[in-house]
Amino acid sequence: AALSEARKFSVVSRSLEEAAQNLGSAEEAIVTWQCLLDALRVRDCHEMEVWLEQARGLGLQIPSEVHVVLAQLRRRKDLEQRLQFALEACDPELLAEVVGEAERGGIGDTALAREAAVRMVALASGRCARPASSAVPR
């Protein structure tokens, strides 16, 4: 916008135009990397995917480690969803399977995994009380 204004009043050198374009591209790349880093910090795989797509569109080289972290976050999210489903279903076999996967996947110490393990014990003793958070209205 500033260059367009300047062109109205005088000749703008080609080197100045190129420098302004390069500065704009660099700024866009920096913002993209910062947003990707923010998404990584909060472990938001959807935001990471958005900013990775933006980075690819800008032609930025994405470190392979970023893709590894994204795959891990997707697996973790999938396990958390499966744990929640197993809790709501009160299915002892599914609970045992998913709790085992959570432990192998390194999320066995989360509140959700601990709740699922407690529920497995409750089911083994013949009771399955649904927590208030997953109670279904009748």
Q: Do both 44 and 20 map to the same domain?
A: yes
Instruction: Report the percent of the chain where pLDDT is more than 90.
Output: 33
Q: Which of these three, 21, 40, 62, is where a domain ends? A: 62
CB 87 within 8 A of CB 129: no
Among 138, 76, 136, which Cα is nearest to 112's? 76
Q: Do both 75 and 119 map to the same domain?
A: yes
pLDDT band (50, 70, 90) for residue 138: very low
Taking the CA atoms of 55, 57, 62 and 67 in sequence, report the sign of the dihedral they define. Answer: positive
Is position 40 within any domain? yes
Q: Do both 48 and 12 map to the same domain?
A: yes
Question: Is the pLDDT at 132 greater than 50, yes or no?
Answer: no
Q: Do both 4 and 55 map to the same domain?
A: yes
Greatest mean pLDDT among 28-32, 76-80, 111-115 lies in 28-32
pLDDT in tens, 2-56: 767 777 777 778 887 788 888 888 999 999 999 999 999 999 999 999 999 999 9
Is position 134 within any domain? no
Domain that residue 71 falls in: 64-125
Would you tell me the crossing angle of helices 2-9 and 14-41 to the nearest 10 degrees? 170
Question: Is the pLDDT at 116 greater than 90, yes or no?
Answer: no
Total domains in the chain come to 2
List the structure tokens of 67: 């893709």
Q: Do both 39 and 87 map to the same domain?
A: no
d(C-alpha 36, C-alpha 38), whole Å: 5
Q: Do both 89 and 43 map to the same domain?
A: no
Predicted TM-score (pTM) of the model is: 0.64
Q: Do both 36 and 74 map to the same domain?
A: no
List the structure tokens of 12: 């703008």
Q: Do both 58 and 68 map to the same domain?
A: no
Q: Do both 15 and 40 map to the same domain?
A: yes
Q: Do both 33 and 74 map to the same domain?
A: no
The percent of the chain in helix, strand and coil, each rounded to the nearest 5, is 75, 0, 25
d(C-alpha 49, C-alpha 52), whole Å: 5
